[in-house]
Amino acid sequence: MLKTTAAYRLLKADPVMAHLISKAVRYEPDARAAQTPFEVLARAIAHQQLHATAANNILTRFIALFEGALFPLPQHVIDTDAARLRAVGFSHAKIAALKDLAAKALAGVVPDRKTLDQLSDGEIIERLTAVRGVGRWTVEMMLMFHMQRPDVLPVDDFGIRNGFRLAYGLKGMPTPKALAEYGERWKPFRSVAAWYLWRANELAKQNLLPKPRHTPRLALQKPRQASRKTRARAKAQRSRVQRRRRA
């Protein structure tokens, strides 16, 4: 169980985080319903690159394939041919990912919740990212919301990085490495810090985000340069515009 009072005491030692905590609503993690690790990851795969409504419709049809099951079991997925899974709306890539997830669940690579609870965050990330289509961010969300792990900082998450940029007054996005290094001061409650960095985005939209008195010096993400082809196309377009103006 997360000791919220201890987390606040630690985070308020950081002046910017203290301001965030004072302006945002009290930390209330979005505790998800109890699900097996297999189900959590299968649902995550279904939601990849899809609107939540579309993904939920696919999952509803997927579950309906197996009468009486609250959610399909790994063996169900193994036994179901790709054509039936394709018919409910899964892409070929997601079918391959689901099949791999099911096989690794049966092999014990993706264990049951009781076994998973005995592993460290790093061990869980290492094991579950072995599944096709499951990346570090997906496992970090599982750690934070399904397992209520207190010390997770998803440094690749756009919302967290942008929230840090806004809250700490940076001129650009912090690199994941720089954010990870800065976040060391928030241990062992980095999940709480991450939650408040998400809230920073909301506060900024409402013009309620306090300006920091001090901006840390961090490595910032370099703007992505356009490809040579893109630059050539833009140059040609500018030339056409200039010719039209002279005509």
3-state SS assignment for residue 47: helix
CA–CA separation, 207 vs 54, rounded Å? 33
The residue with tokens 């649902």 is 43
The residue length of the chain stands at 247
Which two tokens mark 129?
């990212």
The residue with tokens 């490495």 is 177
Q: Which one from 81, 100, 156, 157 is the annotated catalytic residue?
A: 157
Cα 226 to Cα 7, 156, 219, 232, 241, distances in angstroms: 43, 22, 21, 10, 20
- Nearest partner of 158 among 114, 113, 119, 198, judged by Cα: 198
CB-side neighbour CA atoms (13 Å) of 53 = 0
How many helices (H) and strands (E) in the chain?
14, 0
CA–CA separation, 114 vs 37, rounded Å? 10
Active site (annotated) includes residue 112: no
The residue with tokens 């018919």 is 87
Q: Where in the sequence numbering do the catalytic residues fall?
A: 157
